Amino acid sequence: MPDQSSAQRWLTVIGIGEDGPAGLGDHAKRLIAEAPLVFGGKRHVELAASLIRGEVHTWLSPIDRSIDIILANRGKPVVVLASGDPFFFGIGATLSRRVPAAEMNVIPSPSSFSLAASRLAWPLQDVAIVSLHGRPIDLIRPHLYPGRKILALTSDENGPAALAKLLAETGFGRSHLTLLEALGGPQERISDHVAKSFDGTGINPLNICGIEVLAEDGARVLPLTSGLDDGLFEHDGQITKREIRAMTLSALAPRRGELLWDIGAGSGSIGIEWMLADPAMRAIAIEAAAERVARIERNKVAFGVPGLVLVEGKAPDALNGLPAPDAIFIGGGGSETGVVDTAISALKRGGRLVANAVTTEMELILLGEHGRRGGSLVRINIARAAPVGTMTGWRPAMPVTQWVWTKP
């Protein structure tokens, strides 16, 4: 048990479930009762009301206002009440950005995901866990694979219906959906549904959906490999074709948590696939044409990467003020004066730059950069089988010159 006699651990974060004090140990109850200041959501402080003796603060909006009050009382005993496990999509992550671990004592309870898994008898290590609480519902899309089991935390009573609608619209309407409400408390309720005929009513705002994914013919399944089928993207022909895209993503070498600049993004395919590599990936798509920006907006939703940032403007001016990237792809507009130089200047040390050329003007720039800076230069030729009269022959695509360089 953590040593509470030390003033160093002045902040205690306690996870509380829907069963209120009944689910807490004696140590947690005593800390709540002795705390002169108790913070939490309205539901949390109501659940613990019989224990609280000190001053109660419910979360302000924005929540940083409450964090400021907590920090102003540094060194005094402060208790923060949270849902279940505070460090699993909870307030713990927010607090840890401003309070060192050595100053915190955390007493978790089972998370809603753990409770849901126990009710369904689903091993958590085999389940996709997705929080849609206060986040775009489209984040579920990359997890939709036939046979996949998903636990999705929704924002409110409308979340399950919205989730069922998305499943039906993307070809997963036959999926089995288990609605788990107010887990661990007296209002707990579990019901079974089929996504395309979901008819839940009077739903508790605190709910999780357990999804057993079933795909219909034509379901939008996103393969795990890079180089997705061009037909999955909405585009006007300005798209890095799948074979070239696969080689480009390989050269960009995504690493967890990195930021990509996709300059001349076209359909957004490179930035989208970069972000699909891992939920921690970040990307900024820079595109000058308004209609293409709108198209990228639709594509990022369809691929379940709503965090892709769009910048409408022409490079290099549109690059000003953007956060420094770990990797840069130049797929369009690279022949414009200053684009390559600006990109190289902004790139972090050790960052990768990949530039593709299909025009002789851009190729000359890449030849020059390769001569001055080194890196690797590759010529990519792709040919596809196509009808030639009554027979079949090879139709070559435009060759692509690709320069790959790592900033020293």
Q: Could you tell me if residue 234 is inside a domain?
A: yes
Total residues belonging to the chain: 408
89 & 148 share domain:
no
137 & 265 share domain:
no
Q: How many domains does the chain have?
A: 3
- CA triplet 305, 309, 310: central angle to 5 degrees? 115
* 213: its two tokens: 């994914």
Task: Name the residue among 306, 272, 283 with its Cα closest to residue 166.
Answer: 306
Q: Could you tell me if residue 6 is inside a domain?
A: no
The pLDDT tens digits of the residues spanning 65-124 come to 999 999 999 999 999 999 999 999 999 999 999 999 999 999 999 999 999 999 999 999
CA-based max dimension of the chain:
87
98 & 120 share domain:
no
pLDDT at 8: 86
**264 CA to centre of own chain:** 23
Q: Could you tell me if residue 388 is inside a domain?
A: yes
DSSP string, 291-323: HHHHHHHHHHHHTT-TT-EEEES-TTGGGTTPP
CA 111 to CA 109: how far, in whole Å? 6
Domain boundary among 212, 244, 273: 212
Whole-model pTM over 0.85: yes
Domain boundary among 158, 182, 212: 212
Domain boundary among 45, 77, 109: 109
Backbone phi and psi for residue 47, each to the nearest 5 degrees, phi listed first: -65, -35
Q: Could you tell me if residue 333 is inside a domain?
A: yes
pLDDT at 332: 77
Q: Could you tell me if residue 222 is inside a domain?
A: no
Task: Name the residue among 162, 161, 163 with its Cα closest to residue 151.
Answer: 163
157 & 177 share domain:
yes
pLDDT at 5: 47
Task: Please say whether the beta carbons of 359 and 335 come within 8 A.
Answer: yes
274 & 370 share domain:
yes
**298 CA to centre of own chain:** 17
DSSP string, 335-384: TSTTHHHHHHHHSPTT-EEEEEE-SHHHHHHHHHHHHHH--EEEEE--EE
66 & 174 share domain:
no
Write out the chain's pLDDT in tens, 408 residues: 444 444 589 999 999 999 999 999 999 999 999 999 999 999 999 999 999 999 999 999 999 999 999 999 999 999 999 999 999 999 999 999 999 999 999 999 999 999 999 999 999 999 999 999 999 999 999 999 999 999 999 999 999 999 999 999 999 999 999 999 999 999 999 999 999 999 988 999 999 999 999 999 999 999 999 999 999 999 998 899 999 999 999 999 999 999 999 999 999 999 999 999 999 999 999 999 999 999 999 999 999 999 999 999 999 999 999 999 999 999 977 888 899 999 999 999 999 999 999 999 999 999 999 999 999 999 999 999 999 999 999 999 999 999 999 999
CA 352 to CA 363: how far, in whole Å? 19
DSSP string, 183-223: TTSTT-EEEEEEGGG----S--SSEEEEEE--PPTT-----
192 & 326 share domain:
no
Q: Could you tell me if residue 288 is inside a domain?
A: yes
Residue 218 burial (C-beta neighbours within 10 Å; 0-12, 13-18, 19+): exposed
pLDDT at 200: 84
Helix (H) / strand (E) element for 386: namely: strand 383-388
User: CA–CA distance from 127 to each of 142, 174, 179, 234 (Å)?
Assistant: 14, 19, 16, 30
40 & 127 share domain:
no
262 & 380 share domain:
yes
Question: In which domain, by residue range, is 348 found?
Answer: 230-406
256 & 374 share domain:
yes
Task: Name the residue among 373, 352, 381 with its Cα closest to residue 250.
Answer: 352
Q: Could you tell me if residue 4 is inside a domain?
A: no
pLDDT at 7: 55
Task: Name the residue among 58, 55, 2, 59 with its Cα closest to residue 25.
Answer: 2
pLDDT at 175: 98
Q: Could you tell me if residue 1 is inside a domain?
A: no
The CATH number of residue 80's host domain is 3.40.1010.10
277 & 333 share domain:
yes
pLDDT at 227: 95
265 & 402 share domain:
yes
The CATH number of residue 127's host domain is 3.30.950.10
pLDDT at 301: 97
The CATH number of residue 373's host domain is 3.40.50.150
